Amino acid sequence: MTPVALDALLASLHHLLVFSLVAVLFAELVLTGAAPDAGRLRQLGKLDGAYGMLSMSVVVAGFVRAVYGAKGWSYYAGNEMFWAKISVFVIVGLLSAVPTVQLIRWRKRGVVPDAAAMRSLRRWMLGEAALIALIPVLAVLMARGIGY
């Protein structure tokens, strides 16, 4: 595979995973908008599992892209926007741990939460959605060499 083809492949994979991650987060936001029944809670658990897998895949695909993409690792290693982007993504990951743990607890105890409990879970997800919106901006700056 030529370096350009590899770069295009990694870029496509990165975008596909990122779009899927954001889509799953918004699906979770929709499902947490009302008091759930057991079926909805199960669905939410599945979506949250998919969100976790997609997050890991974004990290792997992102770093593979940073190392093997056209610009090479040295381009990103010294770029503040790159590290700002990673830091925001880590914070989003930490925020997402709270609803994940809560959903697992509810499932294990067979609890179906009320609307207030669901609203507090949703606030964490809204925080994630707000922060995730910053990441493409940082990515655009990083890709254009701003941040050295």
Q: Which residue is nearest to ligand HEM (CB)?
A: 62
Residues in touch with ligand HEM (CB under 6 A): 14, 18, 58-59, 62-63, 65-66, 69, 71, 76, 86, 89, 132, 135-136, 139-140, 142-143
**Whose structure tokens read 């959605």?**
129
Question: Which residue number, 25 or 41, has a Cβ lying nearer to ligand HEM?
Answer: 25
The distance of closest approach from Cβ of residue 9 to ligand HEM in the complex, given in angstroms and rounded to an integer, is 13
Who's near 118: CB < 8 A, 6+ residues apart? Answer: 32, 34, 35, 36
The distance of closest approach from Cβ of residue 24 to ligand HEM in the complex, given in angstroms and rounded to an integer, is 12
Q: Outline where the chain has alpha helix (H).
A: 3-31, 38-68, 73-77, 80-109, 115-132, 134-143
